């Protein structure tokens, strides 16, 4: 009888995270702090981006936080976006700032992520947050997708120190920050990408396999180490012959489920956790700001 992997329920875990965040927001506000607020900036009219942003705004409000949405024209000059970011950086009501990717070609992503104040950088892409995470320093805001994935993995194994982890895909949004978090957890971490020659063998050695390539079905069942924890970040819309659409991941799910110990489905795995972790980051940013305000107040009182 073939084994069948445990399916990691991203929707249920995301609901848990949102629940924790809602409690945290209530406690923060009860303690006298302002209601946390997330500012979301969207440039252009990519329909998928509009859907993502609407989801983010709706979920932000559902956990008791405020949100502000800025929609800029697709041909907005970079200078204008940077000015808006600067204004949001200075606005004490704004706890977190998120600029929705992808950006139009006239805007340089590195400049945008660098412009966001590190302690409001709820996407965790500012190089200062990247560096703090990479150096194992405290107080960094960490990108939402890897943060959510770590929580998914920990729902299977609480302590992953010494586990062999392979991250397939080296993007700044998922692969690289994921590798940093897994190293922080004391996994033996490897990172594979388009230039990797022996992907199959490397996958088969991994106790934890995180795949974020956008190549549907890249990882076949026989790539997977029996009992491994498999996280599928890919999500691609595929049209079948009959014209019906469905979403598929980077892992051949029907094969993988026979081999893996635990696996995330697509959809319903990584996706829901990403927004939930964005809310957690926004609460975290608001908490840090509240702590700073309190410290400042205390100093003023002492001085008086």
Q: How far is the CB of 110 from its own copies (least distance, A)?
A: 5
Site for its own copies contains 89 (CB under 8 A): no
In angstroms, the CA 116 to CA 85 distance is 6
Find the catalytic residue in 123, 207, 232, 250.
123
Beta-carbon neighbour count of residue 37 at 10 Å? 21
Contacts to its own copies from residues 99-118, by CB under 8 A = 110
Q: Which is nearer to its own copies, 196 or 293 (CB)?
A: 196
In angstroms, the CA 97 to CA 80 distance is 16
In angstroms, the CA 211 to CA 232 distance is 5
Residue 252 CB contacts under 8 Å (≥ 6 apart), including other chains: 217, 219, 220, 221
Applying CB under 8 A, which of residues 31, 77, 131, 227 lies at the interface with its own copies? 131
For residue 56, indicate whether it is catalytic: yes
Applying CB under 8 A, which of residues 30, 135, 244, 300 lies at the interface with its own copies? 135
**Do 196 and 236 contact (CB within 8 A), yes or no?**
no
Site for its own copies contains 226 (CB under 8 A): no
Unique residue bearing structure tokens 């982890």: 165
Q: State the binding string over 242-281 for its own copies (x if CB under 8 A, else -).
A: ----------------------------------------
For residue 46, indicate whether it is catalytic: no
Of 202, 207, 211, 212, residue with least CA distance to 228? 207
In angstroms, the CA 59 to CA 281 distance is 13
- Annotated binding-site residues for NADP(+) read 169-171, 235
For residue 100, indicate whether it is catalytic: yes
Q: Which is nearer to its own copies, 37 or 250 (CB)?
A: 250
Q: Which is nearer to its own copies, 197 or 240 (CB)?
A: 197
- Going by the DSSP 8-state scheme, the letter that residue 138 receives in this structure is S
- Going by the DSSP 8-state scheme, the letter that residue 100 receives in this structure is P
**Do 277 and 151 contact (CB within 8 A), yes or no?**
yes
| Helix or strand run (H / E) with residue 155 | none
- Annotated binding-site residues read 169-171, 235
Find the catalytic residue in 100, 225, 232, 250.
100
Q: How far is the CB of 164 from its own copies (least distance, A)?
A: 8
Q: Which residues bind its own copies (CB under 8 A)?
A: 110, 125-132, 134-138, 161-162, 164, 170, 172, 176, 180, 183, 186-193, 195-198, 202
Question: Would you name the residues annotated as active-site residues?
Answer: 56, 100, 123
């Amino acid at each position: 009888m073939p084994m069948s992997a445990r399916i990691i329920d991203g929707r249920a875990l995301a609901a848990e995270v949102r629940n924790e965040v809602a409690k945290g927001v209530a406690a923060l506000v009860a303690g006298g702090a302002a209601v946390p607020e997330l500012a979301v900036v969207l440039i252009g009219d990519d329909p998928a981006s509009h859907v993502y942003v609407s989801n983010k705004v709706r979920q932000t409000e559902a956990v008791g936080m405020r949100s502000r949405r800025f929609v800029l024209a697709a041909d907005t000059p970079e200078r204008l976006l940077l000015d808006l970011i600067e204004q949001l950086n200075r606005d004490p009501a704004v706890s977190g700032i998120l600029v929705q990717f992808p950006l139009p070609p006239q805007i340089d992503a590195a400049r945008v992520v660098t412009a966001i104040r590190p302690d409001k950088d709820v996407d965790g892409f500012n190089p200062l947050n990247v560096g703090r995470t990479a150096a194992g320093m405290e107080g960094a805001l960490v990108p939402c997708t890897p943060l959510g994935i770590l929580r998914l993995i920990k729902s299977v194994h609480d302590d992953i120190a010494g586990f062999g982890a392979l991250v397939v895909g080296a993007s700044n949004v998922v692969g690289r920050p994921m590798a940093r978090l897994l190293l922080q957890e004391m996994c033996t971490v490897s990172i594979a990408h388009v230039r990797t020659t022996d992907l199959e063998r490397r996958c088969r050695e991994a106790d934890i396999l995180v795949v974020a390539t956008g190549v549907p079905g890249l990882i076949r069942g026989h790539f997977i180490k029996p009992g491994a924890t498999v996280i599928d970040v890919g999500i691609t819309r595929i049209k079948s012959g009959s014209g019906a659409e469905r979403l598929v991941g980077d892992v051949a799910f029907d094969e993988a489920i026979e081999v893996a110990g635990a696996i995330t489905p697509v959809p319903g795995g990584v996706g829901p956790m990403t927004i939930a972790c964005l809310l957690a980051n926004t609460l975290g940013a608001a908490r840090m700001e509240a702590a700073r305000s309190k410290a400042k107040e205390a100093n003023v009182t002492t001085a008086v």
